[in-house]
Amino acid sequence: MPHSERGMIVGLFGGSFNPPHEGHALVAEIAIRRLGLDQLWWMVTPGNPLKSRNHLAPLAERIARSESIAADPHIKVTAFEQAFGVSYTANTLARVKARNPHVHFIWIMGADSLENFHRWQKWQDIARTFPIAVIDRPGSTLSYLSSKMAKTFAFARIDEDDARILWKKPAPAWTFIHGPRSTLSSTAIRDGALHKAAEQV
């Protein structure tokens, strides 16, 4: 895990980043600014258990590409989940919390992930481990309200104007942050690359 100091506010931004793109960098930038983060750990996962690995690029490649677009010095690109042999977010966060008891963590996710968040293993445990910041994504601004997570933890939502004190809130606590949105998506980039490769065959 990246080095952190006692009392730091650290964002945890995980994903397969297959491939990483400027949309991810925008989410990271918004999170750092709106949440007042000292660091953001850009966690490149071995793979998403809910997604096919048929077109999953090698981990080293995804790390290198993440480092190339994560220019902000607050961002620490890491793939420690591979070293620990964990692939489920709930297990990752439990380990992070145990090893860094004096750091204030916030789990960061794009609004497009909310639709299926209730399918994640121990998703309610995730919500009760660290505060969560949900960053707006195209097409997800309104649909997030109907997600099972938003309904289940409606009582724990705080106004985005209070985002900078989210770290002070005991979990469960979450906020939805509006802001600039990028239309880029890893799926669209992969599909475009596969289509182009097929045309060249």
Instruction: Give me the chain's average pLDDT, please.
Output: 86
Task: Phi first, then psi: give them for residue 7, nearest 5 degrees.
Answer: 85, -5
For residue range 74-116, list pLDDT tens digits in order.
999 999 988 887 778 999 999 999 999 999 999 999 888 888 8
Strand order in the sheet with 174-177: 75-78, 39-44, 9-15, 104-110, 132-135, 174-177
Given this model, what pLDDT does residue 190 score? 38
Q: Is residue 145 over pLDDT 80?
A: no
185 band by pLDDT with thresholds 50, 70 and 90: low
Given this model, what pLDDT does residue 114 score? 84
User: Would you call 109 helix, strand, or coil by DSSP?
Assistant: strand
197 band by pLDDT with thresholds 50, 70 and 90: very low
Distance CA 14, CA 117 (A): 13
Task: Phi first, then psi: give them for residue 17, nearest 5 degrees.
Answer: 45, 60
Q: Which residue has the higher pLDDT, 114 or 174?
A: 174
Residues with Cβ within 8 Å of 128's Cβ and at least 6 positions away in sequence, in order, are: 171, 172
Q: Is residue 195 over pLDDT 50?
A: no
